[in-house]
Amino acid sequence: MALHLSRAVSDGLRRTLTKTGGLLFVGFLIVQLGTQATINTAVASLLPAGPGTQLGPSAGLVLPVSGTAAFALFCVLLVCSAAFFAVIARAIVQPLDEISTMPADATRRLGRTTFAVLVGGTVVSVSVFVGTLFLIVPGLFLATSFLFILFTIAAEDRGVIGGLKRSWALAGGSRLRLLALVVMATVFGGVVGGLAPLFSLLGLSVAGEVMTAVVTAGFMTPYYGILAASYLQLRGDLGGAKHGSPNPSDAAGVPEL
């Protein structure tokens, strides 16, 4: 079925203005701040010691740990964030009257799902990056086609390949409308990425990174709500999913063997 974008936006915003949406905002904020701090710390540890490389306000958010510890924390954060977003994906696609409570099976097969989300996300990121190198258009096409990878893996209990195929099938016929969502996120990322260095020039790196994290979380939370609503609409489940299907169907509704 074709995507009704205005309906997806209104439904997505309603899903965002719930307890689950609040948890999603907090999760985005923690991931943003944690990622920035661990990367800053790891990079700073690689710089030669000297007056010009001492950690200070211009270094941004840093942790009082070694570079090796910061890298280990980054890896832990990466795994924990994949698990968190998998659980939130299962919660945010519930019917609206149940969305403020976690589904009873929110953590089902969480280890397997977390691994699939990490691998699937990496595959999509690399594919989009490589596609972008070829005149940008292939990258946008792939980003649009795999826009629902988190939901197809987490909400439908699919593996990496199955999740990619399912996302591709759901996006078929609505790629132009979905492209608007991809472009919106791309433009937002470009604007925020362009403003952040200005704080560094003013010696306000920490304030700039905190501001960037808050603004990014404020944008990405309703954005993911809209993605969830679009996913539900395209799979023909306007009321929301009750739970993941142990025997998922393809885009035509035929059970996958």
pLDDT of residue 239: 60
CA distances from 49 to 2, 39, 59, 151, 206 (A): 58, 18, 14, 45, 21
Q: What is the pTM of this model?
A: 0.85
Beta bridge partners of 249: 255
Reference 57, options 187, 204, 177; nearest CA is: 204
3-state secondary structure of 249: strand
Extents of the domains making up the chain: 5-234
Say how many C-beta atoms besides its own lie within 10 A of residue 114's C-beta.
21
CA distances from 180 to 93, 186, 190 (A): 21, 10, 15
Spatial CB neighbours of 28, under 8 Å, sequence gap ≥ 6: 216, 217, 220, 221
Token pair in block for residue 50: 């000297």
Q: Mind listing the pLDDT tens digit of every residue in the chain (257 residues)?
A: 678 999 999 999 999 999 999 999 999 999 999 999 999 999 888 877 654 444 444 568 899 999 999 999 999 999 999 999 999 999 999 998 899 889 988 999 999 999 999 999 999 999 999 988 887 888 899 999 999 999 999 999 999 999 999 999 999 989 999 999 999 999 998 888 888 778 877 778 888 899 999 999 999 999 999 999 999 999 986 566 655 444 444 443 433 33
Say how many C-beta atoms besides its own lie within 10 A of residue 152's C-beta.
28
CA dist., res. 39 & res. 193, Å (int): 16
pLDDT of residue 242: 57
Instruction: Give yes or no for a contact between 182 and 144, defined as CB atoms under 8 angstroms apart.
Output: yes
CA dist., res. 13 & res. 223, Å (int): 8
- Burial level of 80, CB count in 10 A (0-12/13-18/19+)? middle
pLDDT of residue 59: 66
CA distances from 28 to 102, 170, 185 (A): 18, 26, 15
- Burial level of 214, CB count in 10 A (0-12/13-18/19+)? middle
Residue type, 244: G
